Amino acid sequence: MLTLAAVQAELLTKTTGSQAIAADRAEVLNSGLAANLEMPHPVFIDRGEGPYVYDADENRYIDTSVGFGLHMLGHVHPVVTRAIQARVPKGWMFGIHSTSQLQLANLVQAGSPCAERVVFCNTGSEATMYAFRAARGYSGKDKIALFDGFYHGAHDYGMWMADPTSPRMEPSAVPMGHGIPGVLKELTLLLPYRDSRAFELIRQNKDELALVFVEGVQSSNPQSEAGEFLRELESVCRSAGVLFGVDEVITGFRLAYGGAQERFSLQPDLATYGKVIGGGLPVGAITGRAEVMAVFTGLAAERGVFSGGTFSGNPLTMEAGAAVLNHLRDHPEIYVELERRTQRLADVINAHCEDLQLPVHMKHVGSMFHLFFQRETIASSRDIHARGLAAQKAFYLHCLNAGVLVPGTQRAFLSAVHDDQVVDELINVFTASLDAVSAEGLFDATR
């Protein structure tokens, strides 16, 4: 059984190509992505194939990032490849509307329970930014309510987190890094996640609130029990006269074809999409009730808002996205198998940790899963502690050395091509890595 030091030495030996790339780009390119893992250098991916990615040194890894959740069909799936190849000879960028947009819009509308209208943009961050703008334009109010532990993209209105010193039941927002104007705090109401106190705060602030916005499932804290809370949240927003929005950038067409809305029986006023609906290419979408979405019909419209982007609705993305959604619609068994395989993965890992009394447990919803290095119950982000950080870092390095890549955010996913054999290999690597960390005594600080 390898020690952590031996694993680090092996990784350095087998990733010399990635080391060279890191050195070459150090004076040119700063990273805009989440770090791979706790290594002296990132691992640079050269290509993907099915459930695997290959780095610059041709090391193969089972990929549990799958593009941060967007590759529902795995890497380089034939239906997506064919769609892109068919589009390329016709041109892939015009700037104005193309013949490719309507097919994907119809598919998103049919798959999204709330989508009477659809607007395309380029990223999930853009989609949530525009949803906030639409809600403000429609309602005439400025404040947006968000939940402790959320992530809604990298725009200024979404870059807030709970001050850990503030009361759990009434969290105070602090900016997520520098460069976020402090004045925007006045436009943000932070709410406690999965706590009835949130409902009281919404009622108290209803005259200022343009929108209450929530992830279908918090990507940092996947809670299968969130449905009851979300349904009551929707009801409270309705009675308070406040727009209710669901961020489906990650969950849309992943938790089910109808996303979190289908899984939890929700009917929001607005919903945002990204990731899966682009077929692996950059995409975002805002959907919702026709009355609310009418603000996007131009600045001359009543309460019209500005939206636009050179690459919004580009034909290459539209064709790739339509290919994926058509395939998922025609193969509903994909969701059944993903549910079964992720459940099996979680059951085996959790039983292993319970048997050995390891302070680790896996939470999952659908094909999303996340390992937490603690035994304590987690209801919201306030319950996640950092005592297991050393063990966690060691575990992921063991996994990487054994051929399993988990993203630096530790928010992991299965795809349709992560079959039973691949899941068996994941189980073997995860359990062996947990055992190695335990044998070295790295869990002692978390007990």
Q: What is the mean pLDDT of residues 136-148?
A: 97
Could you give the domains of the chain?
4-76+333-446 (3.90.1150.10), 78-330 (3.40.640.10)
Nearest to 134 by CA among 110, 118, 153: 118
Q: How far apart are CA 287 and CA 266, in angstroms?
A: 14
pLDDT at site 271: 98
User: In Å, how far are 169, 189, 240, 263 from 236, measured between CA atoms?
Assistant: 17, 16, 6, 20
Mean pLDDT of 277-300: 96
Nearest alpha-carbon partner for 372 in 428, 414, 410, 415: 410
305: pLDDT strictly greater than 90: yes
Q: Per-residue pLDDT averaged across 374-400, rounded? A: 88
d(CA 72, CA 345): 17
Would you give the distance in Å from CA 238 to the centre of its chain?
A: 27
Q: What's the rounded mean pLDDT across residues 184-188?
A: 95
- Tokens 């030495």 appear where? 9
- Summarised one tens digit per residue, pLDDT across range 73-94 is 999 999 999 999 999 999 999 9
- For 22-70, the pLDDT digits (tens) are 888 777 877 666 555 566 678 899 999 999 999 999 999 999 999 999 9
CA pair distance 287, 111, nearest whole angstrom: 11
For position 288, what pLDDT does the model report? 98
- Confidence tier at 115 by pLDDT (50, 70, 90): very high
Q: At 98, is the pLDDT very low, low, confident or very high (cuts 50, 70, 90)?
A: very high
Tell me the C-alpha distance between 164 and 384, whole Å: 11
Counting Cα atoms < 13 Å in the Cβ hemisphere of 272 gives: 30
Q: Which of 11-15, 33-37, 45-49, 247-251 has the lowest mean pLDDT?
A: 33-37
In this prediction, residues 214-243 reach a mean pLDDT of 95
Radius of gyration of the chain (CA): 22
Report the amino acid identity of residue 231. Answer: R
Q: What pLDDT, on the 0 to 100 scale, is given for residue 23?
A: 85
pLDDT of residue 445: 61
Q: How many Cα atoms are found within 13 Å in the side-chain-facing hemisphere of 238?
A: 10
Share of the chain above pLDDT 90, in %: 85
Pairing of strands 188-191, 143-147: parallel
Average pLDDT over residues 95-113: 95
Q: Alpha-carbon distance 37 to 412, whole Å?
A: 14
Angle separating helix axes 4-14 and 389-401, nearest 10 degrees: 40
User: pLDDT tens-digit profile of 410-432?
Assistant: 899 999 999 999 999 999 999 99
69/375: higher pLDDT? 69
What pTM was computed for the model?
A: 0.95
Q: State pLDDT tens for residues 306-351.
A: 999 999 999 999 999 999 999 999 999 999 999 999 999 999 999 9
Q: What is the mean pLDDT of the chain?
A: 94
| pLDDT reported for residue 387 | 82
